[in-house]
């Protein structure tokens, strides 16, 4: 079984990679940061020696690199059992005063990365009539909030992509799950000084992704909303 994870070098992506490695999946890990990705890959290889971990740095916000990434996966002969579109970027701001180009960058990284990579991998999945696609959205996909700006717009768009893709792929036996996590303790939240007991653990998100893959072929989890027990910050 193969699991492809983007944004895999740290945070939610790394937690998801570790969960699937522990379950015996072969991993294909992608991230923009080559050094961080290499470090994560080496750690997983050492901890799970029976798991084959392949990794390569791509900037998936660039259309051509996203397409090249898909071809790299195909060239390795990997059947896509699980695809986790987790590549993302957050730039805070308001629509009225954020810098020019922020919307375009948010759409490229948070939406187009998933769109272009998925399109390359879909023909093989459709041929096999098998596979599960996870799009890591956000609670910002569900409700506007102050300082959300173009980030929230891009996450709303990713939710729409997920819904349309799900309907399109139903006849082909391919599942599509949109995940809407609130605040989970990752490097970015650690830098903010927030109490880690106030928000979720990255492993909580990984547990839910893995659990959704364990259902029978005739059942699917369409949407997963995860928030801290005390609510969003």
> CA 23 to CA 186: how far, in whole Å?
22
> How many C-alpha atoms does 218 have within 13 Å on its Cβ side?
0
Domains of the chain: 2-226 (3.40.50.720)
Of the residues 25, 28, 112, 151, only one is catalytic, namely 151
**Tens digit of pLDDT for each residue in 144-158?**
988 899 999 999 999
Reply yes or no on whether 151 is catalytic: yes
Q: Are 77 and 51 in contact (CB under 8 A)?
A: no
- Average pLDDT over the chain reads 95
**Tens digit of pLDDT for each residue in 112-140?**
999 999 999 999 999 999 999 999 999 99
The per-residue pLDDT for 191 is 72
Q: How confident is the model at residue 46 (pLDDT cuts 50, 70, 90)?
A: very high
Q: How confident is the model at residue 186 (pLDDT cuts 50, 70, 90)?
A: confident
């Amino acid at each position: 079984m193969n699991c492809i994870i983007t944004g895999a070098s740290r945070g939610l992506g790394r937690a998801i990679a570790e969960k699937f490695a522990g379950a015996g999946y072969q991993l294909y890990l992608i991230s923009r940061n080559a050094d961080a990705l290499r470090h994560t890959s080496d750690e997983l290889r050492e901890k799970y020696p029976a798991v084959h971990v392949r990794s390569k740095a791509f900037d998936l916000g660039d259309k051509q690199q996203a397409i090249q990434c898909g071809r790299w996966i195909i060239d390795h002969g990997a059947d896509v059992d699980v695809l986790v579109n987790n590549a993302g970027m957050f730039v805070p701001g308001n629509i009225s005063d954020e810098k020019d180009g922020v919307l375009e960058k948010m759409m490229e990284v948070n939406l187009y990365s998933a769109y272009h990579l998925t399109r390359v991998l879909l023909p093989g999945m459709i041929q096999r009539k098998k596979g599960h696609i996870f799009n890591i959205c956000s609670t910002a996909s569900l409700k506007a909030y102050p300082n959300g700006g173009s980030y929230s717009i891009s996450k709303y768009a990713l939710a729409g992509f997920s819904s349309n893709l799900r309907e399109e792929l139903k006849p082909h036996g391919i599942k599509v799950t949109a995940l809407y996590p609130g605040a989970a303790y990752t490097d970015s939240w650690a830098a903010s000084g927030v109490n880690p007991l106030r928000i979720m653990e990255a492993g909580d998100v990984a547990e839910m992704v893995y659990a959704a893959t364990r259902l029978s072929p005739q059942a699917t989890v369409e949407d997963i909303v995860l928030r801290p027990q005390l609510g969003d910050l």
